[in-house]
Amino acid sequence: MTFMNWSRHFVTGIDVVDREHQGLVELINEVAPLLSRSEPVPGAEADALLDRLSEYAQTHFRDEERLMGEAGMAAACVGRQVGAHRAYVEELALMRREVDAGGQIDGRLLLRFLANWLSFHMLSEDQMMARQLTLIAAGHTPAEAATQVCETKDDTPQAVLTEALIDLYAVVSERNRKLLRTNAQLKTARSQLAEVNASLEREIEERTGQLQKSNQELLREQSELLRAMEAIERTQSQLLQSEKMAAVGQLAAGVAHEINNPIGFVGSNLGSLGSYVTRLFELIDCAAPAVAALPADHPARLAVEQAWQAAEVDFLREDIPALIGESADGLARVRKIVADLKDFSHVGEAEWQEADVNRGLESTLNVVWNELKYKATIVRDLGELPAVRCIPAQVNQVFMNLLVNAGQAIESAGTISLRSGQEGGYVWVEVEDSGGGIPPDVQKRMFEPFFTTKPVGTGTGLGLPISREIVHRHAGTISVDSEPGRGSCFRIRLPIAGPQPGQEAAA
């Protein structure tokens, strides 16, 4: 693309000046395709071009000022030429600042500036300089050359056209400078606005981050508070349960003390009564032959037979021993209930100790039997178990929760199976019911504190969570196998040796 053609009107007659002018024309033609595009010139390419233009100006202006100095050209004319040089350098510096501020430059504006400046420089300033240098070389003084070139008006059409072009360049240059300054100001304002926006965005991000951090901290604290409240609720419930069991144990101990004495003498009296009755019947048996030996119409015989029939001696002979036996069984039942209450609560025994798990299960069953006896048949399959190191009262509390839940799972009539056994260093106990089973979604949450599917007033949702916590404190596990329609089986595994050292304190 040829943007600018070299013309004879540009020739000054000074070889070095004309070569440099031609070099600038070639440079403008070289970069014209880049500068004439509608989009701005990127910073890297703009910097490279401005560097080349600055290098050209440095060489060309140095050569011109050297020629003027060697010829002794008039100071006023030299000053005007040097002023034009400085104006060009200032224009390039202004464009450089625009690139630095915005990262790009308007190529068409730069191309227009170069074309206008080169035309003005070659047609006006350098032509006047060349004519003065020619006159001085021909023998004129610098003052005469300046007067003849600068003050003599040329009315030829070419001179008039040149003067018009010079005036047009001055106007265009001034507009270009204003545009460049305005562009620089706009880009500076944009840069400042971008910095303000970036600062605002950073501040907003920081504030947002702080708010998010505060919200996360609040959520974390709220979550910790909820967990703490749940732990307090569980602990409170367990303490209440422990207090209840302690109260049951104390009551059982008191009842045992108060009841055992009367039970003792009632039992003793029943034994004596049985002995007395036996002796009475032996006496009756001894008297019977003597009565039978009397005549049938003897008054004594008639009186004895009448009394015998009235007393229903034969019935009494069968019923009295049975009544005494039932009374003795009842007393034994009372003794067992009191003993099971004491064994269940283990009053005064909150320390780790060796315990019979099967016995604890049986004692707990006896305590809750009233809840089960009208709708559940108990099926036992208990294996031989070694003594387990545990806190018996807590383990019995787990058994009670599972037995009560099993009874509540049976609507009318069903079966509760109790099984136990040993696997390696563990014992296991299973409590299985024939109830309706547990849906999978409920199984996922059944060990969560306060979760319950029971009607209001019949459950707190803490039985299974507390049971799991007790089992975990004993370094054991609790699991459930259940499907809707086939009942549920809860399985507890406890280490025979108990928890490892350091774990007992947590229990």
E strands of 285-330, at which residues?
none
**Domain final residue, candidates 121, 152, 183:** 152
Residue 62, token pair as written in the block: 């140095």
For residue 373, is it within any domain? yes
pLDDT for res 33: 85
| 0.95 surpassed by pTM | no
β-bridge mates for residue 494, sequence order: 427
Q: Residue 492: is its pLDDT beyond 90?
A: yes
Q: What's the pLDDT at 359?
A: 92
pLDDT of 428 > 90? The answer is yes
pLDDT digits (tens, 9 = 90+) for 86-139: 888 888 888 888 788 777 777 887 777 777 777 777 777 888 889 999 999 999
What is the C-alpha to C-alpha distance for residues 79 and 307, in angstroms, rounded to an integer?
A: 169
What's the half-sphere exposure (Cβ side, CA atoms, 13 Å) at 443?
Answer: 15
- b/e map 151-185, b = 16+ CB within 10 Å: eeeeeeeeeeebeeeeeebeebbeebeeebeebbe
Question: What pLDDT sits at residue 280?
Answer: 81
At 253 the pLDDT is: 61
Least confident segment among 161-165, 276-280, 451-455: 161-165
Q: Could you report the per-residue pLDDT of 136-187, keeping only the tens digit for each?
A: 999 999 999 988 887 655 555 544 455 555 555 455 555 555 665 676 677 6
Q: Which of 93, 128, 152 is the last residue of a domain?
A: 152
Give the integer Cα–Cα distance in Å for 409 and 320. 43
Using DSSP's 3-state secondary structure scheme, residue 345 falls into helix
- Per-residue pLDDT, averaged over 202-226, amounts to 86
Lowest mean pLDDT among 32-36, 77-81, 434-438, 482-486: 32-36
**Residue 277 and residue 282: Cα distance in Å, rounded?**
8
Confidence (pLDDT) at 140: 92
Residue pair 249/346 in contact by the 8 Å Cβ criterion: yes
Q: What residues make up the domain containing 381?
A: 349-507
Tokens 């606005």 correspond to what residue?
Answer: 193
Residue-level pLDDT at 504 = 53
Model pLDDT, residue 422: 95
Range among 231-235, 263-267, 358-362 with highest mean pLDDT value: 358-362
Q: Is the pLDDT of residue 430 over 80?
A: yes
Q: What is the DSSP string of 132-172?
A: HHHHHHTT--HHHHHIIIIIS---SHHHHHHHHHHHHHHHH
Q: Are 24 and 6 in contact (CB under 8 A)?
A: no
* CATH number of the domain to which 378 belongs: 3.30.565.10
- The model's confidence at residue 205, banded by pLDDT at 50, 70 and 90, is confident
pLDDT (mean) for 340-348: 55
Q: Are 191 and 102 in contact (CB under 8 A)?
A: yes
Inter-residue contact 62 to 51 (CB < 8 Å): no
Kindly report, residue by residue over 315-325, the tens digit of the pLDDT.
Answer: 887 888 878 88
d(CA 422, CA 225): 41
Give domain status of residue 472, yes or no: yes
Mapped onto helix, strand or coil, the DSSP state of residue 464 is: helix
**Token pair in block for residue 140:** 């004129």
Give the mean pLDDT of the chain: 80
Q: Report, in angstroms and rounded to the nearest whole number, the Rg of the chain calculated over CA atoms.
A: 60
Share of the chain above pLDDT 70, in %: 80
* Token pair 């079966």 in the structure block, residue: 415
SS3 433: strand
pLDDT for 114 equals: 79
In a domain, 40, yes or no: yes
**506 vs 25 pLDDT, higher one:** 25
Average of per-residue pLDDT across 45-53: 87
Give 201's Cβ-side CA count (13 Å radius).
Answer: 6
- The pLDDT score that the predictor gives to residue 507 is 44
**pLDDT of res. 178:** 63
CATH number for the domain spanning 97: value is 1.20.120.50
Average pLDDT value for residue range 41-52: 86
What would the mean pLDDT of 15-23 be, rounded to a whole number? 89
pLDDT of res. 347: 47
Kindly state whether residue 259 falls inside one of the protein's structural domains: no
Res 175: pLDDT: 58
List C-alpha distances in Å: 449 to 228, 402, 442, 458.
12, 16, 13, 15
Place of tokens 């600055």: 54
In-domain check, residue 242: no
pLDDT band at residue 506 using 50, 70 and 90 as cut-offs: very low
How many structural domains comprise the chain? Answer: 2
Question: Which pLDDT value is given to residue 373?
Answer: 86
Per-residue model confidence (pLDDT) at position 270: 77
Please give the span between the terminal C-alpha atoms of the chain, in angstroms, as a whole number: 93
Beta partners for residue 376, in sequence order = 414
Residue 498 lies inside a defined structural domain of this protein:
yes
The answer as to whether 23 is a domain residue is yes
Instruction: Assign 41 to helix, strand or coil.
Output: strand
Print burial letters for 192-224: b (CB count within 10 Å at least 16), e (below 16): eeeeeeeeeeeeeeeeeeeeeeeeeeeeeeeee
Evaluate whether residue 376 is within a structural domain.
yes
More confident residue, 278 or 361: 361
| Of 152, 185, 200, the domain-final residue | 152
